[in-house]
C-alpha cells in the first residue's frame, strides 16, 4: 500500500465534475430544504441545507463541488451565485483550480 500521495494517487487525482451546461438557465434546480445524497455526504446524522440561507448555501456548494457528480452540480449549484461566493468557499486546491479555469473561460467578470 502506498503511504504518500502523488499526482496519480489521492484526492487530487479524482476528476472534478464540472458540467458543460451548468450555466444553462433552463436546468431544474434544487429548492427548499435539501438533504444531499449519500454519495456526496456520507456522514451521520444526515444534514439538511436551506439554500435560501447564505451559510447553508456555502456549505452545500463546498460539498457538491468536492464530492458531487455533473448531475449534482446542475441540480444544486446556481452558477451565478457560485461566482459571487467562490472566494469564500473552503475547497481543496485542485477543486478551486478546476473551477477557476472554468470561470476563466467564461469571461473576465468571473472569479
**Chain segment 9-55, per-residue pLDDT in tens:** 555 667 888 888 887 777 778 889 999 999 998 877 888 999 999 99
CA dihedral 69, 89, 85, 29 (to 10 degrees): 20
17 found inside a domain: no
18 found inside a domain: no
The pTM of this model reads 0.81
16 found inside a domain: no
Domain count across the chain:
1
Residue 111 to residue 95: CA distance in whole angstroms = 13
102 found inside a domain: yes
Q: Cβ contacts of residue 105 below 8 Å, gap of 6+?
A: none
Domain that holds residue 96: 34-106
1 found inside a domain: no
SS3 6: strand
7 found inside a domain: no
User: Which alpha helices (H) appear in the chain, and where do they start and end?
Assistant: 54-67, 70-76, 79-85, 93-106
Question: Which among 45, 82, 34 is positioned nearest to 62, based on CA atoms?
Answer: 82
pLDDT, tens digit (0-9, with 9 covering 90-100), for 59-81: 999 999 999 999 999 999 999 99
The backbone torsions φ and ψ at residue 34, rounded to the nearest 5 degrees and listed phi first, read -125, 150
Q: H-helix or E-strand containing 34?
A: strand 34-35
Say how far residue 5 (Cα) sits from the centre of its chain: 23
61 found inside a domain: yes
79 found inside a domain: yes
Amino acid at each position: 500500500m502506498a503511504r504518500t500521495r502523488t499526482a496519480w494517487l489521492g484526492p487530487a487525482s479524482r476528476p472534478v465534475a464540472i458540467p458543460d451546461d451548468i450555466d444553462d438557465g433552463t436546468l431544474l434546480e434544487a429548492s427548499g430544504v435539501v438533504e444531499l445524497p449519500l454519495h456526496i455526504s456520507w456522514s451521520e446524522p444526515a444534514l439538511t441545507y436551506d439554500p435560501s440561507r447564505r451559510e447553508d448555501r456555502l456549505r452545500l456548494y463546498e460539498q457538491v463541488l468536492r464530492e458531487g457528480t455533473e448531475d449534482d452540480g446542475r441540480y444544486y449549484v446556481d452558477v451565478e451565485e457560485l461566482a459571487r461566493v467562490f472566494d469564500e468557499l473552503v475547497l481543496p486546491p485542485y477543486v478551486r483550480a478546476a473551477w477557476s479555469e472554468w470561470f476563466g473561460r467564461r469571461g473576465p467578470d468571473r472569479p
